[in-house]
């Protein structure tokens, strides 16, 4: 179904790999990314990294011991979209390489060799050593060639990887991987980097179509990529689905599929091959950009390129909603380029409404709430009205509606295909009070307006490091980075009393240390006079843990058992009550605000006629 993800409520089947229904390609891939995750986190969060590596080993052992194709185990569920068209050996080979890289255990390298060194005929297209196409979600053989060459340095694997790179011109990501592994003295390195740069320049607009295929990058970038969350419409193919030629939302930075073999490009959701924003080539594109930046080839775009209608971040719209009543009809429209991908109108009226046409009567009491049908979802910002026809319960003659206390919610509602459930999520919407029929100056926002929407895109909060919730490796409070006293020492964080305040919760003011990665630090609120410096580092005969993970709990609290030793989790450090704005909505100011609604983002309340997120 063409649902935006935030409104998806239909059931999803859960599938399980077993010894009788194996899936070596799924399990092998899972082992690969868990081993890679271990390498990423081993110096940042050793406890979490160790867990990832443990599971990577277990899952790879399952994939290797119970070999089988998940397309055969679950064909009815997966073959329409993500069928395994090759073999299981590319995932098994890549999983073995990642585990070898993570553990230096030669047994994993031996598993890779058995697959990579297996003989094959040139006619055997599915053989591990016979790949002629690009890396993809289905075919991991190119990654196996390159990673095998990088990790072993052996001539036969280097030759295989280089031969592949020289013959498969379209695979720019493999060129990048190989270029990064070659010494600067190797002439092939410069050749490969030049190719990566030329292909990246093509993607960024140096092509016959003259299109920068990164969404939101330039004025001519794709506007109608094949993406449910960005589209703001109910169907990707229906000719009546509005908007037809663009998406309501801009998925900034996403790479579209691009032109055909003749360099022709059509910006339409109906051509999903040109306009898909798939993860495989988007991930590869990020790697290429990182390589080129590393090589000193990044040149900032001029403002003349960056400033356009869909530039980042999205600027807040001028509130401009009109609600007109004509006998038994209510006409809703937006102007000033204010766009809504869905809408609901709330009101009181002198008529007892029995039903409505061209819309959905969602609620009758205490106020009427009428929302769009699937086909009437779009308010285009150009004055095109959507019509609600009202039918009275008792008066079947001519009606003369009168509306009071009119509020229109822009977004926050999804009407899917008939037979599917409607979804009302007001926390995703923006509510406006309509005064005297509305229009500019008479469309009053019932939320805190910001320079752009959602507010976090331009209020300085987006690029901050993660909140200090359950720190994994708190700084030792006895030896903080800053010797000044502050409240944060009790929570396992250093002090930075001369820093700028970037975040505030009920504990106090927080700043950020300029470290890698950035680290939260406390500003003010010290407690030296309360004798905190004498706080013991032991809990009886047991030391406090350096982290916050636990695997046992008793009357004394949480404990962690590792390497045949127990340590006590310092829950004073590891438990912090916090709140972060969600989708532009603020945290509730009062601790006793009543819970009005609960969803995946948390508990919601209402303060000053505006939704707020309740602290957890």
Chain segment 481-529, per-residue pLDDT in tens: 334 578 888 777 888 887 777 777 767 888 888 777 677 888 887 654 3
- 295 and 254 in a single domain? The answer is yes
CATH number at residue 609: 3.90.1220.10
Q: Across the chain, which distance is largest between two alpha carbons, in Å?
A: 89
Task: Kindly state whether residues 72 and 145 are assigned to the same domain.
Answer: yes
How many domains is the chain built from? 5
Q: Is residue 180 part of a domain?
A: no
Q: Taking all residues of the chain, what is their mean pLDDT, rounded to a whole number? A: 85
One domain, residues 594 and 563: no
Residue 38 resides in a domain: yes
Q: 614 lies in a domain?
A: yes
Residue 352 and residue 307 in contact, taking contact as beta carbons nearer than 8 Å: no
Q: With cut-offs at 50, 70 and 90, classify the pLDDT of residue 554.
A: confident
Tell me, yes or no, whether 176 lies in a domain. no
Q: Pairing state of beta strands 508-513 and 557-562?
A: unpaired
Q: What is the mean pLDDT of residues 215-233?
A: 94
Domain boundary among 136, 168, 200: 168
- 307 and 325 fall within a common domain: no
pLDDT, one tens digit per residue, over 80-121 is: 888 999 999 999 999 999 999 999 999 999 999 999 999 999
Residue 602 has pLDDT above 60, yes or no: yes
What span, in angstroms and rounded, lies between the C-alpha atoms of 296 and 531? 53
Domain-ending residue, one of 312, 337, 367: 312
Task: Report which listed range, 200-214, 237-251, 460-474, 543-557, is most confident.
Answer: 200-214
369 and 256 both lie in a single domain: no
Q: What is the mean pLDDT of residues 151-172?
A: 81
Is it the case that residue 208 has pLDDT exceeding 80?
Answer: yes
Residue 201 sits in the same domain as residue 304: yes
Quick one: pLDDT band at residue 460, thresholds 50, 70, 90?
Answer: low
* Residue 173 confidence class, pLDDT cut points 50, 70, 90: low
Backbone phi and psi for residue 2, each to the nearest 5 degrees, phi listed first: -90, 65
Q: What is the mean pLDDT of residues 469-483?
A: 37
Domain-terminating residue out of 445, 478, 498: 445
What is the structure's pLDDT at 534?
45
pLDDT, tens digit (0-9, with 9 covering 90-100), for 564-582: 678 888 877 676 556 677 7
User: What is the residue range of 498's domain?
Assistant: 487-574
Long-range CB contact pairs, 465-468, < 8 A, 24+:
465/512, 465/517, 465/518, 465/519, 465/520, 467/503, 467/505, 467/520, 467/578, 467/580, 468/493, 468/510, 468/520, 468/576, 468/578
In a domain, 175, yes or no: no
How much is the pTM?
Answer: 0.69
Does residue 579 sit within a domain?
Answer: no
Average pLDDT (370-388) is: 95
63 has a pLDDT exceeding 80:
yes
Mean pLDDT, residues 320-349 taken together: 96
Task: Give the range among 34-43, 131-140, 173-182 with minimum mean pLDDT.
Answer: 173-182
Q: Is residue 458 part of a domain?
A: no
Question: What's residue 481's pLDDT?
Answer: 37
> What beta strand segments (E) does 68-158 contain?
none
Residues 156 and 134 in one domain: yes
Query: 162 and 34 in one domain?
Result: yes
Same domain? For 568 and 491 the reply is: yes
Q: Is residue 14 part of a domain?
A: no
Least confidently predicted of 3-17, 188-202, 221-235, 254-268 = 3-17
CATH number at residue 431: 2.60.40
Pair (239, 345) in one structural domain: no
Question: 31: which 2 tokens?
Answer: 């082992």
| Same domain as 352, residue 218 | no
User: Based on the domain organization, do 25 and 164 belong to the same domain?
Assistant: yes
């Amino acid at each position: 179904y063409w649902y935006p993800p935030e409104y998806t409520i239909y059931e999803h089947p859960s599938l399980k790999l077993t010894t009788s229904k194996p899936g070596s390609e799924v399990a092998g891939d899972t082992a690969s990314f868990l081993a890679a995750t271990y390498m990423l986190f081993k110096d940042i969060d050793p406890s979490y990294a160790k867990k990832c590596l443990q599971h990577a080993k277990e899952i790879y052992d399952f994939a290797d011991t119970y070999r089988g194709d998940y397309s055969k185990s679950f064909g009815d569920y997966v073959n329409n979209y993500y069928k395994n068209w090759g073999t299981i050996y590319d995932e098994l080979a890549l999983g073995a390489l990642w585990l070898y890289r993570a553990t230096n255990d030669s047994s994993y390298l031996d598993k890779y060799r058995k697959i990579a060194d297996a003989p094959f005929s040139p006619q055997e297209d599915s053989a591990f050593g016979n790949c002629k196409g690009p890396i993809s979600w289905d075919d991991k053989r190119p990654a196996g060639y390159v990673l095998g060459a990088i990790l072993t340095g052996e001539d036969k694997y280097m030759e295989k990887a280089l031969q592949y790179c020289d013959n498969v011109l379209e695979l720019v990501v493999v060129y990048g991987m190989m270029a990064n592994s070659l010494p600067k003295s190797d002439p092939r390195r410069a050749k490969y980097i030049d190719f990566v740069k030329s292909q990246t320049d093509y993607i960024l607009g140096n092509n016959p179509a003259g299109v920068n295929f990164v969404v939101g990058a330039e004025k001519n970038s794709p506007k109608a990529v094949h993406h449910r969350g960005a589209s703001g419409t109910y169907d990707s193919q229906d000719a009546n689905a509005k908007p037809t030629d663009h998406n309501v939302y801009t998925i900034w930075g996403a790479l579209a599929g691009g032109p055909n073999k003749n360099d022709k490009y059509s910006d339409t959701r109906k051509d999903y091959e040109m306009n898909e924003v798939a993860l495989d080539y988007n991930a590869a594109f990020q790697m290429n950009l990182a390589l080129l930046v590393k090589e000193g080839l990044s040149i900032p775009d001029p403002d003349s390129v960056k400033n356009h209608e869909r530039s980042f971040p999205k600027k807040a719209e001028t509130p401009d909603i009109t609600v007109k009543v004509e006998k038994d009809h209510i006409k809703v429209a937006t102007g000033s380029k204010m766009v809504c991908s869905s809408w609901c109108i709330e009101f009181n009226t002198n008529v007892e409404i029995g039903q409505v046409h061209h819309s959905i009567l969602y609620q009758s009491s205490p106020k009427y709430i009428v929302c769009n049908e699937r086909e009437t979802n779009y308010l285009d910002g150009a004055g095109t009205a959507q019509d609600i026809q009202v039918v009275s319960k008792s008066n079947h003659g001519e009606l003369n509606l009168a509306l009071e206390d009119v509020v229109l919610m822009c977004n926050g509602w999804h009407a899917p295909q008939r037979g599917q459930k409607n979804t009302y999520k007001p926390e995703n919407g923006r509510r406006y009070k309509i005064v005297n029929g509305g229009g500019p100056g008479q469309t009053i926002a019932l939320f805190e307006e910001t320079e752009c929407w959602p507010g976090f895109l331009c209020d300085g909060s987006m690029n901050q490091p993660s909140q200090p919730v359950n720190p994994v490796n708190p700084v030792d409070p006895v030896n903080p980075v800053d010797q000044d006293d502050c409240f944060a020492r009790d929570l396992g964080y250093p002090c930075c009393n001369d820093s700028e305040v970037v975040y505030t919760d009920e504990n106090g003011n927080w700043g950020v240390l300029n470290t890698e990665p950035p680290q939260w630090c406390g500003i003010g609120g010290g407690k030296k006079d309360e004798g905190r410096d004498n706080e013991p580092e032991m809990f009886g005969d047991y030391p406090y843990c350096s982290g916050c993970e636990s695997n046992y709990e008793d009357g004394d609290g949480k404990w962690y058992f590792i390497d045949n030793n127990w340590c006590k989790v310092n829950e004073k450090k590891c438990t912090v009550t916090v709140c972060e704005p969600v989708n532009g909505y603020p945290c509730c100011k009062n601790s006793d605000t009543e819970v009005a609604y609960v969803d995946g983002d948390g508990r919601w309340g209402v303060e000053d006629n505006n939704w707020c997120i309740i602290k957890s």
